[in-house]
Amino acid sequence: MPFPSVDTISINGVPAPGQWILQATQKVFGWQVQQGYALSGATVAPKGDELVVAPFLVKLWRPQDFDSFRLFRSRFLKKAVFSVGGQASYALGIVHPELAELGVTSVVVAKAPVMTNNGKGLWSGTCEFLQYRKPAPAPAKPNAAIPGHAVPKPVAKTEQQRILEERRQTLHNLRPDDG
């Protein structure tokens, strides 16, 4: 689904009813600042990245969407799935292009929405997902820096541009007492 027409998600392959608008979300990279003893400055070392928190504003207008949402909520928007042998918890597969760009393909439900009616037929609530991923080793500590390059000065391309640049420099170098 192309941006910005994306206004829904699917969980485990099932499209969510209504409109699901992704709210302010960001991927926070884990860095540990290591101050040097009796030194000015510091270095950084990678540590585990934070999990992405993905809140969605859910909007429903039609009664059939609300009925579909009730079924969707009872099926997916809960903490655990019960099995015959006891309680088991499973992460849910989620499809949303912006979350996929952040590497989020599996989530658990952090907060399930309570839908409220605005009195004019719009039901809305906030649903919050927390990224699920298996732990992975953090990358190695950087041992070198890629130097930044100075911005090159413009070079005159024609003789006329060269003369204009010389005159600008001469005017710039003039002091008020030079007359």
Q: Which domains does the chain have, with CATH numbers?
A: 10-131 (2.40.30)
Tokens standing for residue 8? 């829904």
* Percent of the chain clearing pLDDT 70 (strictly above): 87
Backbone angles phi, psi at 126, to 5 degrees: -115, 130
Of the ranges 9-23, 72-86, 130-144, the best mean pLDDT one: 9-23
| Mean pLDDT of the 161-172 span | 82
pLDDT score, position 36: 78
Backbone angles phi, psi at 60, to 5 degrees: -130, 135
Give me the chain's average pLDDT, please: 83
| Mean pLDDT of the 146-171 span | 78
By three-state DSSP, how is residue 94 classified? strand
pLDDT score, position 169: 82
Cβ neighbours for 125, distance < 8 A, ≥ 6 positions apart? 57, 58, 113, 114, 115, 116
| Mean pLDDT of the 1-15 span | 75
Give CA–CA dist 21/23, Å, rounded.
Answer: 6
pLDDT score, position 1: 46
pLDDT in tens, 15-66: 999 999 999 889 988 888 888 777 787 888 888 888 999 999 999 998 888 8
pLDDT in tens, 70-81: 999 998 998 865
